[in-house]
């Protein structure tokens, strides 16, 4: 596709980075708007949380990258500092405890704030997956179907070039968009705080587990070769944790006080 958005000599703007930046701006704006509207979340608090989440996401995304090729990254840890290579689940699983700690520290209704962050996560992730498509990373297996996409730009990470591949990046973007629409519709109908966040985890983990079947970037790593990828294992664990938590919160959880509904 188009991994480079602008190339002005010494300044190169990559499409993936631009998409992530756009997602961050949109997600931050929604977090400030809804957080202030419902829970008195201040702009300064939003700025601090944003910085913490960026740090947690980068650290988590790079840390989980080790599991894709432990021997490589343990021998050459400097490769973790390169611009390429990132694991979404690592970012998510590091971001969740960061959010919980922050919300509790500032005595914010943490379950309600998690519902807001579910939408924020979808917005950022959706833009990120579009960036993945433009960069050619997270590509799919070869396919003869009409909806296959052929990458030809040598700067793309997709392999092999010149062959029709499943556009798994767009499959996942479609999944995330569908989840986002559902959360937007359901946000006024939720029966307990935290419900939207758990629904997001369940829906994304289930969809991601299926989409992994069409992935072609085998270097991401497998627990059982060609049967169970690292992401599929994490998806199963996330689904199990979300189901248990959903049952617990549904029994004891209620809608907390909000400024506006």
Count of positions (residues) in the chain: 261
Neighbours of 252 (CB within 10 A): 8
Contact 134, 1 (CB under 8 A): yes
Percent of the chain with pLDDT over 90: 73
Of residues 5 and 86, more confidently modeled? 5
DSSP state, residue 84: S
Q: Phi, psi (5° rounding) for residue 223?
A: -80, -45
Burial code (b: 16+ CB inside 10 Å, e: under 16) for 161-184 equals eeebbbbbbbbbbebbeebbeebe
- Statement: residue 104 has pLDDT above 70: yes
Quick one: pLDDT at residue 83? 55
Quick one: pLDDT at residue 11? 85
Q: Which residues pair with 215 in a beta bridge?
A: 140
Question: In angstroms, rounded to a whole number, what is the distance separating the alpha carbons of residues 176 and 178?
Answer: 5
Tell me the average pLDDT across 190-194: 94
- Statement: residue 161 has pLDDT above 80: yes
Q: Which residue has the tokens 């289930």?
A: 206
Least Cα distance to 56 among 108, 148, 121, 7 occurs for 121
Percent of the chain with pLDDT over 70: 94
Q: Which residue has the tokens 């010149």?
A: 162
Quick one: pLDDT at residue 78? 67
Quick one: pLDDT at residue 81? 65
Start-to-end C-alpha separation, the chain:
43
Quick one: pLDDT at residue 28? 97
Quick one: pLDDT at residue 255? 72
Where do the DSSP E strands lie in the chain? Answer: 4-8, 11-14, 149-150, 164-165, 222-224, 228-229
Tokens for 41, please give them. Answer: 């979340």
Least Cα distance to 192 among 248, 260, 120 occurs for 248
Question: In angstroms, rounded to a whole number, what is the distance separating the alpha carbons of residues 256 and 244?
Answer: 21
Quick one: pLDDT at residue 222? 86
Tell me the average pLDDT across 165-192: 96
Max Cα–Cα distance, the chain, nearest Å: 60
Interval 200-240: pLDDT, tens: 999 999 999 999 999 998 877 888 888 899 999 999 999 99
């Amino acid at each position: 596709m188009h991994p480079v958005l602008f190339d002005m000599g010494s300044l190169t703007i990559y499409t993936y980075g631009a998409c992530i930046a756009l997602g961050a701006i949109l997600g931050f704006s929604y977090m400030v708007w809804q957080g202030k509207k419902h829970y008195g979340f201040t702009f300064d608090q939003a700025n601090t949380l944003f910085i913490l989440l960026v740090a947690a996401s980068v650290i988590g995304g790079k840390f989980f990258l080790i599991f894709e090729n432990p021997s490589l990254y343990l021998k050459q840890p400097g490769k973790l500092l390169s611009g390429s290579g990132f694991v979404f689940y690592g970012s998510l699983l590091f971001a969740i405890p960061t959010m919980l700690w922050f919300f509790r520290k500032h005595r914010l209704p943490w379950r309600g704030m998690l519902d807001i962050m579910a939408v924020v996560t979808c917005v950022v992730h959706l833009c990120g997956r579009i960036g993945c498509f433009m960069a050619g990373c997270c590509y799919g297996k070869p396919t003869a179907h009409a909806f296959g996409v052929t990458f030809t730009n040598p700067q793309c990470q997709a392999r092999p070039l010149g062959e029709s591949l499943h556009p798994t990046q767009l499959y996942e973007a479609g999944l995330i968009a569908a989840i986002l629409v559902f959360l937007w519709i359901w946000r006024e109908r939720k029966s307990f705080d935290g419900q939207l966040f758990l629904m997001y985890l369940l829906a994304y983990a289930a969809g991601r587990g299926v989409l992994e079947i069409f992935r072609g970037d085998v270097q991401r790593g497998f627990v059982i070769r060609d049967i169970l990828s690292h992401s599929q294992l994490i998806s199963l664990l996330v689904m199990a944790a979300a189901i248990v938590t959903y049952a617990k919160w549904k029994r004891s959880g209620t809608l907390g006080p909000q400024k506006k509904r």
